[in-house]
Structure 1
Amino acid sequence: MQSTDSLSIEEYVIVGGGTAGWITAAILAHSLKHFKNVKIKLVESPDIPTIGVGEATIPSIIDMLTYLKIPLVEFINKTDASFKLAIRFDDWLQQGHSYWHPFGKIGNAIDNLPFYQHWLKHAKHQGQYQFSDFSPSVALAEHGKFYAPRPGEKTNLSASSYALHFNAGKVAEYLKTYSLELGVEHIKANVTHTELTTSGAIKQLKLDTQPVLAADFFFDCSGQKALLIDKSLRVGYQDWQSFLPVNRALAVQTKPSNNIAPYTIAKADKAGWQWQIPLQSRTGNGYVYCDDFIDQAAATTQLLNRVGEENCITEPRLIRFKTGKRNKMWHKNCVAIGLSGGFLEPLESTSIYLIMRAALNFVQALPDKNLHQPSIDEYNRLMDNEYLNIRDFIVLHYCTSKRTDSEFWQMWQHLPIPASLSQKLDLFTSQGRLMDNPKDLFASDSWYAVLAGMQVTPNSLDPLIERSNFSLIEKAMHDSYTALQNNARQQRDHKQYLNNLIK
């Protein structure tokens, strides 16, 4: 009978560096640091530059730093980071219109009904407040302020939450150092061939700097090349361009602004949308578009006109992509993480989250050498849910637009949407209710924020709203909004807050 120890996986190989590779290495090395015989090796091509996607994040990045026991202030200093409280969406509903998708809670439940239902009644009575007016994160963002809630402290700003903007290249370097200190071996080489076992699993890799590299388990973090999951294991790809047709991105860096905004801007354009991500020493900018409606030269011109060519510190860089995901993220003894596993446009800053979630889900489903199929199936189910939920949330921003000023936006007036999103919208537009989906990355307040921002109005109110005293709630809304604004104004400017951290 085989001992338990002999079944433990002892050798892991990660193919690819960059953000995906080094996040995977860091999580794996930290999680397995008490396993005596485990060896982790990362193979990184010296010839392939890092794409560097994911310079804006969501609050889960703070959870990852906490998990890895990385000091937040140190990380901010090393990665040129700034804080992010929300995303401001400009020109999505109509040109000239803006709304917020904030982090953290928006209002509080009243009489066991979501705050949204009470706000909806307020709005139907021609009320003066927007739904996001009751978000602590929006109150801070609108005034250019920042506040980090302290554990146990209860103020009207305590329900705010935050993420980070950062230099993705510096994040990869930081996590590389972190991983090497935990014993990860870094191999600079190109993978020239993958040798499979008779059962179709990966046996070993041939490199251009050494004969072979064998392991028990492999992670494909090789980006869109997908050297293992596609080129060797032939796992198919689900193309979602029928739902999300944008397929190109141009990225350019500009000089920093005088006031570092604590939020991302996503500005809709005639063939897609443009981003603005403020860091300490520079601003990240980009144009995500569909090349059926604009060519690269015209897209470059539009982007440079917006940011001011004289402000650029890099040349515009083109990134091609195809929205979708692998049929399976985990196949045999290989898990695809990052662009090798799938791509969703960065509208809601989810790329880093998906990398982190893929690595953490693997650790939570840690296999032995038997690689039990039920565990693999469950991992794939969980990752499928992540991608599908995020896909639907991104489509929501487009399909609810009323813009018809270009062929791109005219297309969106007729483009089919996923059945899962259609069902959710049907439920919402009836009485303002949302499907209960605890596995959705985006909680109800996020869906409410985008739906309210895009002026998707339910046909009826929840009948239970009539249990509440409307006049008292109206007064409470006024008092809450006023107090929130007053408290937000008194906080430190975002730039001042950063300067105090990095001095």
Structure 2
Amino acid sequence: MNFSAINTASDKQTNHGAIQTYVVLGGGTAGWISAAILIRSLVNTKVNIHVVESPHTPTVGVGEATIPSIMDMLQYLNIPAQDFINKTNATFKLAIKFTDWYAKGAHYWHPFGYIGNEIDGKPFYQHWLKYQQQGGALSFTDFSPAIALAKQNKFFIPDPKQPTNLSSSSYALHFDAALVAKYLQHYCETRGVKIHKAHVKDVKRDNTGNIGQLIFNDNKTLSGDFFIDCSGQQGLLIGKTLRVGYENWQQYLPVDSAAVVQTENSGALPPYTESIAHAHGWRWRIPLQNRTGNGYVYCSDFCDDNAAMRLLESNVFGEKLTDTRCLKFTTGMRDKCWEKNCLAVGLSSGFLEPLESTSIYLIMRAMLNFVQSIPTKDPSPFTVSEYNRLMRHEYHCIRDFIVLHYCATTRKDTPYWQMWQSLSIPDSLQTKIALFKEYGRLYQDKSDLFSQDSWYAVLEGMGVRPNAYDPVVDASVAEKIHSALPSAAEALIDSAGKALGHEEYLERIR
């Protein structure tokens, strides 16, 4: 995620039409990330930023998994990673392990970082595919440094000055979302962000239809030039006030509920997220330093809440630390994320199930796109339209990638999985799969969050295999390449074995 593209503002850039007051409605992860990025990008200006956080809204607090862009955000905010990790009970994440998705008893990995290296300018996947079709026994992700580490519960941060065969690995974090909100609140407070602990009972619009004021329960008011709606699924500003519609995607992704519980840690802390498919959906396990976050994402058409909670509780390890409870959601996104003087961020803009840990990425992306085109009090309709196009494309790409995990399954053991044998998939994903099935070529989209190696890993993991490898790799000397592959994979295992254990790495940080 290219936070370096953000140009921080200064007093010299202000003018009579500049926005003087921003109001962020909602705290939590979305609200405090939004405020933090905003105050960082507007450093040295006289802008006022307010965050309104309701004292009546509880945090979910089940633990959160991220993708490597979280480290880019910390660097942009000048937050020391070591301090952040210690104060949010964070652990490291190298990959996601998917169990029982393609078939019961089968598993595959989606790693961070690169898998293999290009050979003669062609994707490593194509050379591996030729190797595999000629009898090679090694799997595609056997050539991932991140997976070599994850399988041994090891961890390693690449040093650009001392490259090794593990250097192309990458990593993200698991952390306590409530502690992250607390950490970023302190970050914002020390930089002048004003905080209001209040419940909004009404919203007043001006004669142009823009939002003008928030009215609190005690009848106090807060005016602003621009409002960022982080009020969650209710979308108090973007939905209830401005009446922006919501596009429901449950025809593609029908899960609509999640049971969640926190438990004590039991056993080693794995440096990866686990996603295990079950009868009516899938279960996550997110290890933190002090506890484990657990959840079961399911479709209520096939499973009621009580059955879901029983299934989750029967599959967790360690004593329960919280009561098990259920959350409801609607997969989809707003027709527009930016309308008039209001930007929807987080759940108010849309929801995609946390299968690929993209929720915090979408918060960061929403704010990154926004601060790259900070508007005046009267924003250009072309700026607004382009922002909405970019965010829609982000959501569509992630939606397609998540559907891929389901639509290629061979499971037929329950009505839920039988449904997936005939469920429609987006036209855009059908095109991507059809192209891949010919010669393993991927749809070229530089703005897709997921890299080519991510698509290769999940396609291969879900049993989607092209009819043939790309014939251009025949120009390379196959015998030399294929003979080198086993030793390369073995070298990764050996190097990973010499790295620090995940928990030992965390202990050194502490």
TM-score by length of 1: 0.98
Which of 464, 474, 478 matches 1:456?
Answer: 464
- Distance between the aligned counterparts of 2:328 and 2:65, measured in 1? 19
- Distance between the aligned counterparts of 1:316 and 1:97, measured in 2? 28
- Distance between the aligned counterparts of 2:126 and 2:281, measured in 1? 32
Task: State the match for 2:386 in structure 1.
Answer: 378
Letter in 2 for 1:155: T
**Mapping of 1:37-116 within 5 angstroms?**
37-52=46-61, 55-116=64-125
| CA-to-aligned-CA distance 1:308-365 (integer Å, 9 cap, x gap) | 5x62111112110000000000000000000011000000000000011111111001
Task: State the match for 2:8 in structure 1.
Answer: none
**Mapping of 1:123-134 within 5 angstroms?**
123-134=132-143
| CA-to-aligned-CA distance 1:484-503 (integer Å, 9 cap, x gap) | 1100001110000000101x
Task: State the match for 1:117 in structure 2.
Answer: 126
**Mapping of 1:485-496 within 5 angstroms?**
485-496=493-504
Cα gap change, 1:307 to 1:16, in 2 (>3 Å): same
* CA drift at 1:45: 0.6
Task: State the match for 1:418 in structure 2.
Answer: 426
Q: Say whether residues 1:314 and 2:336 are aligned partners.
A: no
- Distance between the aligned counterparts of 2:442 and 2:98, measured in 1? 22
* CA drift at 1:152: 3.1
Task: State the match for 2:349 in structure 1.
Answer: 341
Contact 1:19 1:52 in 2 (8 A): no
* CA drift at 1:210: 4.3
- Distance between the aligned counterparts of 1:217 and 1:140, measured in 2? 46
Task: State the match for 2:44 in structure 1.
Answer: 34
- Distance between the aligned counterparts of 1:339 and 1:363, measured in 2? 19
Q: Say whether residues 1:191 and 2:200 are aligned partners.
A: yes
Q: Secondary structure at the match of 1:371?
A: coil
- Distance between the aligned counterparts of 1:269 and 1:221, measured in 2? 32
Q: Say whether residues 1:202 and 2:211 are aligned partners.
A: yes
- Distance between the aligned counterparts of 1:52 and 1:218, measured in 2? 25
Letter in 1 for 2:361: Y
- Distance between the aligned counterparts of 1:384 and 1:407, measured in 2? 32
* CA drift at 1:53: 6.6
Q: Say whether residues 1:147 and 2:152 are aligned partners.
A: no
Task: State the match for 1:249 in structure 2.
Answer: 258
**Mapping of 1:463-478 within 5 angstroms?**
463-478=471-486
Contact 2:62 2:176 in 1 (8 A): no
Task: State the match for 1:387 in structure 2.
Answer: 395
- Distance between the aligned counterparts of 2:270 and 2:257, measured in 1? 26
Q: Percent identity?
A: 55
- Distance between the aligned counterparts of 2:391 and 2:408, measured in 1? 26
| CA-to-aligned-CA distance 1:415-464 (integer Å, 9 cap, x gap) | 00000000000000011000110000001000000011112110122111
- Distance between the aligned counterparts of 2:295 and 2:256, measured in 1? 13
- Distance between the aligned counterparts of 2:197 and 2:395, measured in 1? 31
Contact 2:62 2:261 in 1 (8 A): no
- Distance between the aligned counterparts of 2:38 and 2:189, measured in 1? 12
* CA drift at 1:122: 1.3
Cα gap change, 1:434 to 1:480, in 2 (>3 Å): same
**Mapping of 1:267-282 within 5 angstroms?**
267-282=276-291
**Mapping of 1:262-301 within 5 angstroms?**
262-301=271-310
Cα gap change, 1:359 to 1:54, in 2 (>3 Å): farther
Contact 2:309 2:325 in 1 (8 A): no
* CA drift at 1:292: 0.4
Letter in 1 for 2:137: Q
| CA-to-aligned-CA distance 1:214-237 (integer Å, 9 cap, x gap) | 110000000011110001000000
Contact 1:79 1:171 in 2 (8 A): yes
Contact 2:63 2:288 in 1 (8 A): no
Contact 2:439 2:467 in 1 (8 A): yes
Q: Say whether residues 1:12 and 2:22 are aligned partners.
A: yes
Unmatched tracts of structure 1, length 5 or more: none
Which of 483, 490, 506 matches 1:498?
Answer: 506
- Distance between the aligned counterparts of 2:63 and 2:384, measured in 1? 27
Letter in 2 for 1:6: H
Contact 2:24 2:51 in 1 (8 A): yes
Task: State the match for 1:397 in structure 2.
Answer: 405
Contact 2:22 2:50 in 1 (8 A): yes
- Distance between the aligned counterparts of 1:211 and 1:460, measured in 2? 67
Contact 2:258 2:297 in 1 (8 A): yes
Q: Say whether residues 1:24 and 2:31 are aligned partners.
A: no
| Deviates further, 466-475 or 102-111 | 466-475
Task: State the match for 1:367 in structure 2.
Answer: 375
TM-score by length of 2: 0.96
| CA-to-aligned-CA distance 1:360-391 (integer Å, 9 cap, x gap) | 11100101112111111111111111100000
Q: CA RMSD in A?
A: 1.1
- Distance between the aligned counterparts of 2:66 and 2:266, measured in 1? 20
| CA-to-aligned-CA distance 1:183-234 (integer Å, 9 cap, x gap) | 0000011111111122211111111134321110000000011110001000
Letter in 2 for 1:429: K
Unmatched tracts of structure 2, length 5 or more: 1-12
Contact 2:62 2:293 in 1 (8 A): no
Q: Secondary structure at the match of 2:383?
A: helix
Contact 2:63 2:286 in 1 (8 A): no
**Mapping of 1:205-224 within 5 angstroms?**
205-224=214-233
Q: Secondary structure at the match of 1:311?
A: coil
Cα gap change, 1:54 to 1:346, in 2 (>3 Å): farther
Cα gap change, 1:376 to 1:200, in 2 (>3 Å): same
Cα gap change, 1:242 to 1:346, in 2 (>3 Å): same
- Distance between the aligned counterparts of 1:11 and 1:488, measured in 2? 50
* CA drift at 1:52: 3.8
